[in-house]
Amino acid sequence: MGTHTMKPISRVRLADEVQSQIRQAIVSREIEFGAPLSEPKLADRFGVSRAPVREALIALEREGLVEFVGGGRTRVITIGVEDFAEICTLRSTYERLAGQLVAKRWGSTLAATLEDNLARQRRSTTWAELSALDMAFHEAIVAGSGNARLLAAWRVLRPQCEACLVHFFGLEKELGHEPRKVTVAAHEKVIAALSGGDPDAAGDAMAEHAESWMSWLEHNG
């Protein structure tokens, strides 16, 4: 288990901070899929009792990032091809609707937010950073739909999507592609579709972009 993102905690709401740090370690792949998570070791690492660690793990289980496997053992989930297909299907559905709604509400505030995100994507230096910015880009769009329940449903998928993207960005690089350029170019097309004022075209662009990772995996996985 790496130590880059996890550090002792002194904040009052310990379980929230433990949850945040473990989540970040998982989505950045500092802790790999399938890795065991020991409550005593985590408590010692963070300098807290086991109670907030247990509470954090329960919350992460609801997020779909960890699983309890019996005998008091906990481990990071493993996302296989079928799992990822389910995630892509749901994300495509959510983001198609978001695109349709945003095309009707497009304005300068959201445009500026997305352009600023793109600028940071171009400057990103790690796959974890690029993945986090990628998900923030999409969350801004879903939030811009004005549909609070849609945003809440989409956020359930975000941690799992972010963890997958870190893995796939690495695979892309191994195959000779440049994930940063590919991601930025795809997001530029999304912005163009959203700003065009056609809800159906915007919805299609969002869905196709969300489904592109599944298509990529089928050909390169």
* CATH code: domain of residue 87: 1.20.120.530
State residue 147's pLDDT score.
Answer: 98
State residue 80's pLDDT score.
Answer: 77
Does residue 194 share a domain with residue 122? yes
State residue 76's pLDDT score.
Answer: 93
Confirm whether 123 is domain-assigned. Answer: yes
Does residue 143 share a domain with residue 205? yes
Does residue 124 share a domain with residue 24? no
- CA-based Rg of the chain, rounded to a whole angstrom? 18
Residue 201 burial class via C-beta count within 10 angstroms: exposed 0-12, middle 13-18, buried 19 and up: middle
State residue 75's pLDDT score.
Answer: 94
User: Tens digit of pLDDT per residue, the chain (221 long)?
Assistant: 455 566 665 544 888 999 999 998 988 888 888 999 999 999 999 999 999 999 999 999 988 899 998 887 899 988 777 888 888 899 999 999 999 999 999 999 999 999 999 999 999 988 788 888 999 999 999 999 999 999 999 998 888 888 777 766 666 666 556 778 889 999 999 999 999 999 999 999 999 998 887 766 665 55
Contacts of 99 (CB under 8 A, 6+ apart): 141, 190, 193, 194, 199, 202, 203, 204, 205, 206, 207
State residue 215's pLDDT score.
Answer: 67
Does residue 54 share a domain with residue 145? no
> Cα–Cα distance between 168 and 87 in angstroms, integer?
14
Does residue 93 share a domain with residue 70? no
Domain range holding 97?
Answer: 81-220
State residue 120's pLDDT score.
Answer: 96
Does residue 111 share a domain with residue 64? no
State residue 169's pLDDT score.
Answer: 66
The answer to whether the CB of 101 falls within 8 A of the CB of 64 is no
Confirm whether 209 is domain-assigned. Answer: yes
State residue 21's pLDDT score.
Answer: 92
Does residue 88 share a domain with residue 60? no
The answer to whether the CB of 114 falls within 8 A of the CB of 208 is no
Confirm whether 5 is domain-assigned. Answer: no
The residue from 39, 61, 76 where one domain ends is 76
State residue 201's pLDDT score.
Answer: 97
> Cα–Cα distance between 88 and 99 in angstroms, integer?
16
First CA to last CA across the chain, in angstroms? 26
> Cα–Cα distance between 134 and 116 in angstroms, integer?
12
Torsion angle in degrees (nearest 10) through CA of 116, 119, 121, 124:
-120
φ, ψ of residue 90 to 5 degrees: the values are -65, -45
Torsion angle in degrees (nearest 10) through CA of 25, 113, 101, 85:
-30
Does residue 177 share a domain with residue 69? no
Confirm whether 9 is domain-assigned. Answer: no
